[in-house]
C-alpha cells in the first residue's frame, strides 16, 4: 500500500516537455535543461553527508540520465550538481602503485580518507588523488595525517558508496585549527540556505504565436550576376563548378593575405533591385580594376594610422590557402614570439616590433618560401612572398591572442602580454619551491605540467586558454637557462611530463 501511495503522489507531467518527473512539492526537469540550473558550471561547497546521501542520476531518470551519469552528475534536492568542494581533515591514506621497473607510472594514485569535522565516522569519504597532483600540493604519503585540506572534484557514484575524484587539492591548515572548521561549516550552511534548501523551479520561455506566412524569396545578387553572366557571355552553367564560386570565411581579428587577382571574384549578397535605382553605383564590373589592400608597415607604425579590425579570408581557384604551417614551424614561431616578449620586459610595444625581430623575421621568411613552393603561385614574386609572410605572422599572433589568451592586441596594434607575464611569474614561483624543497629539506618534489595547467586555470579563473604543455616546457626551459642559469641541475621526464630539481 505504501508503494501505491507514493505512485499516486507523482506523475510524469503529460504535456510539460521540460518536466521528467513531478512530485507535489517539486519537479525533476529533463537533463536537456540542466544548463539552466543555478548550480550549473559552479563549484558547490557541500558537506560529506550531503554527497553520501545524494541521489543517483539513474535513480531519478533511469536510462534517460545515463549521459549525465557518466559525466559524474549527482542530484541534491532537484539540483543537478557536477563539481563539488569539500573541506576536511585527512584521517587515512592508501597508495596504489602501478610503477614498473622503478619508473613512476602516471596511473599511480592515493586514496585519501577525509572527515569534515562532523564527528560521525560513518560519514567520511574517500578522495582519489593522482600521485602527481598529491605531491604538487605538498602532501607526502604517511605524513599527511591530521592536515586540513580543501578538495575540488567530481563524485564517482559507485554501487555501495560515493567517491570523490580530485581535480584540485591543497593544504589549508594543520590539526586543531578551529577557525578553519567554523569557516568551512559557515560557507556550506549559507549555500544550503540560499540555494539547496528550496527546490529549483524552472519556467520555460513563453513562445509567442506567429501565424505562418510565405514570402517569395528575393533574387540575390549572386544569382542575378550568374544569370546575367550566362546570358551575355554564353558561359556554361557554373553551378557544377564549385571552384569558380569563392567562399568567404570571417576569422576573428585574423589577417590572412591573399593574391590581389582573386579579389574581383568577391561580390556582395544584396538585392540587385536596390542598386539598379542608382546608375552611379550599379556600374559594369571591371576585372582589371586595381584594389588597394592595407599592409603592415614593417617599420614603425604610428597610432594615427587606420588599423585592421577584421579581414576576410578569400578562397578562389588556383589559390593554395588550404596549406597551413607545419606543426614544428608553428611551435617554433610561437615560442620565438614568447621568448621575445619575455626578453623585452613589461614595457609597451607594437606588433611591428615583434615582426622586425631578426629571429622571427628569418623564420617567417623561410616558412613563406616553403609555403609558396608547395603552391601554384610564383615563389619568386615579391608580392606573393610579402603577403604570405604577413599571413603567417598574423596566424601566430591570432594563436597567442585568441586560442591561448596570452596576449591582448588593441586597435592600434599595441600588445599587452599581461597574461603571459602572470603565467611566467607563477611558473618561476613553482620552480623556486621545487628548488627550496631539495636544498633545505633534501626532498625531491615534481612539477607535473598537465596537473599544473588544470590547477592554474582554476586559481586564475581561466586566465589563459588552451595552452599546450610544450609551450609551458619552453617557458620553463627559458627561465632555467636565462634567469636561474642552472638548467643542468634540472631534469625533465618526458614520459610523465614532469620537471624536478636534482641539484
Strands lying side by side in the sheet with 349-350:
349-350, 414-416, 408-409
pLDDT digits (tens, 9 = 90+) for 347-404: 778 888 998 888 888 888 888 888 877 766 555 566 578 888 888 888 899 999 999 9
Q: Is the pLDDT of residue 286 over 70?
A: no
Question: What are the DSSP E strand ranges found in 294-412?
Answer: 311-315, 349-350, 408-409
Residues 406 and 423: beta-carbon distance below 8 Å: yes
Question: Strands 498-501, 490-493: parallel, antiparallel or unpaired by DSSP?
Answer: antiparallel
The pairing of strands 490-493 and 446-448 is unpaired
What are the residue boundaries of the structural domains of the chain, listed by start? Answer: 43-52+76-195, 321-502
Neighbours of 338 (CB within 10 A): 22
Residue 493 has pLDDT above 70, yes or no: yes
pTM: predicted TM-score of the whole model, two decimal places: 0.43
The set of residues, in sequence order, having a beta carbon less than 8 Å from that of 189 and lying 6+ positions away, is: none
| Arithmetic mean of pLDDT over the chain | 76
Pairwise pLDDT comparison (319 vs 335), residue with the higher score: 335
Reference 370, options 429, 328, 411; nearest CA is 328
Strands 109-115 and 83-96 turn out to be antiparallel
Over the stretch 243-276, which tens digit does the pLDDT of each residue have?
333 333 334 444 443 333 333 332 333 333 333 4
209 pLDDT band (50/70/90 cuts)? low
pLDDT at res. 427: 92
- One DSSP character per residue, 432-501 reads HHHHHHHHHH----EEEHHHHHHHHHHHTTS-S----HHHHHHHHHHHIIIII--GGGEEEETTTTEEEE
pLDDT > 80? residue 216? no
Read off the pLDDT of residues 133-170 as tens digits, 9 standing for 90 and up. Answer: 999 888 888 888 889 999 999 999 887 789 999 999 99
pLDDT in tens, 57-99: 998 888 888 999 999 999 999 999 999 999 999 999 999 888 8
> DSSP for 180-229?
HHHHHHHHHHHHIIIIITS-----PPPPPP------PPP--HHHHHHHHH
Instruction: Check pLDDT > 60 for residue 437.
Output: yes
Q: Which fold has domain 43-52+76-195?
A: OB fold (Dihydrolipoamide Acetyltransferase, E2P) (2.40.50)
Amino acid at each position: 500500500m505504501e508503494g501505491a501511495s507514493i505512485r499516486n503522489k507523482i506523475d510524469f507531467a503529460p504535456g510539460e516537455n521540460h518536466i521528467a518527473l513531478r512530485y507535489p512539492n517539486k519537479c525533476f526537469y529533463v537533463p536537456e535543461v540542466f544548463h539552466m540550473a543555478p548550480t550549473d558550471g559552479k563549484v558547490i561547497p557541500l558537506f560529506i553527508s550531503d554527497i553520501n546521501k545524494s541521489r543517483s542520476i539513474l535513480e531519478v531518470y533511469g536510462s534517460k540520465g545515463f549521459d549525465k551519469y557518466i559525466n559524474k552528475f549527482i542530484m541534491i534536492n532537484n539540483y543537478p550538481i557536477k563539481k563539488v568542494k569539500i573541506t576536511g581533515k585527512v584521517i587515512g591514506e592508501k597508495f596504489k602503485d602501478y610503477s614498473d621497473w622503478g619508473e613512476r607510472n602516471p596511473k599511480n594514485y592515493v586514496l585519501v580518507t577525509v572527515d569534515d569535522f562532523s564527528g560521525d565516522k560513518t560519514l567520511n569519504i574517500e578522495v582519489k588523488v593522482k600521485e602527481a597532483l598529491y605531491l604538487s600540493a605538498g602532501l607526502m604519503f604517511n605524513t599527511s595525517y591530521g592536515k586540513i585540506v580543501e578538495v575540488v572534484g567530481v563524485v564517482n557514484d559507485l554501487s555501495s558508496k560515493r567517491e570523490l575524484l580530485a581535480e584540485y587539492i591543497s593544504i589549508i591548515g594543520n590539526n586543531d585549527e578551529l577557525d578553519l572548521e567554523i569557516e568551512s561549516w559557515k560557507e556550506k550552511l549559507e549555500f544550503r540556505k540560499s540555494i539547496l534548501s528550496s527546490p529549483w523551479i524552472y519556467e520555460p520561455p513563453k513562445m509567442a504565436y506567429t501565424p505562418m506566412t510565405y514570402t517569395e524569396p528575393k533574387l540575390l545578387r549572386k544569382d542575378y550576376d550568374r544569370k546575367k553572366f550566362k546570358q551575355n557571355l554564353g558561359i556554361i552553367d557554373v553551378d557544377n563548378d564549385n571552384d569558380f564560386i569563392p567562399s568567404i570565411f570571417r576569422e576573428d581579428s585574423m589577417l590572412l593575405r591573399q593574391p590581389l587577382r582573386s579579389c574581383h571574384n568577391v561580390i556582395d549578397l544584396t538585392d540587385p533591385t536596390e542598386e539598379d535605382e542608382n546608375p552611379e553605383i550599379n556600374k559594369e564590373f571591371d576585372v582589371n580594376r586595381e584594389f588597394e589592400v592595407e599592409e603592415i608597415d614593417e617599420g614603425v607604425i604610428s597610432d594615427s594610422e587606420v588599423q585592421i579590425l577584421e579581414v576576410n579570408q578569400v578562397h578562389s581557384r588556383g589559390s593554395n590557402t588550404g596549406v597551413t604551417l607545419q606543426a614544428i614551424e608553428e611551435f617554433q614561431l610561437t615560442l620565438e614570439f614568447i621568448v621575445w616578449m619575455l626578453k623585452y620586459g613589461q614595457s609597451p610595444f607594437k606588433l611591428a616590433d615583434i615582426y622586425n625581430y631578426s629571429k622571427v623575421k628569418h623564420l617567417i621568411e623561410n616558412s613563406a618560401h616553403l609555403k609558396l613552393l608547395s603552391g601554384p603561385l610564383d615563389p619568386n614574386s615579391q608580392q606573393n612572398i610579402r603577403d604570405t609572410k604577413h599571413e603567417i605572422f598574423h596566424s601566430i599572433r591570432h594563436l597567442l591572442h585568441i586560442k591561448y589568451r596570452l596576449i591582448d592586441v588593441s586597435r592600434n596594434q599595441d600588445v599587452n602580454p599581461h597574461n603571459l607575464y602572470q603565467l611566467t611569474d607563477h611558473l618561476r614561483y613553482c620552480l623556486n619551491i621545487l628548488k627550496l624543497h631539495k636544498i633545505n629539506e633534501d626532498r625531491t618534489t615534481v612539477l607535473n605540467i598537465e596537473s599544473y595547467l588544470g590547477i592554474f586555470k582554476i586559481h586564475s579563473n581561466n586566465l589563459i586558454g588552451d595552452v599546450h604543455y610544450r609551450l609551458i616546457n619552453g617557458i620553463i626551459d627559458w627561465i632555467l637557462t636565462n634567469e636561474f642559469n642552472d638548467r643542468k641541475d634540472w631534469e625533465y621526464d618526458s614520459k610523465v611530463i614532469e620537471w624536478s630539481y636534482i641539484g
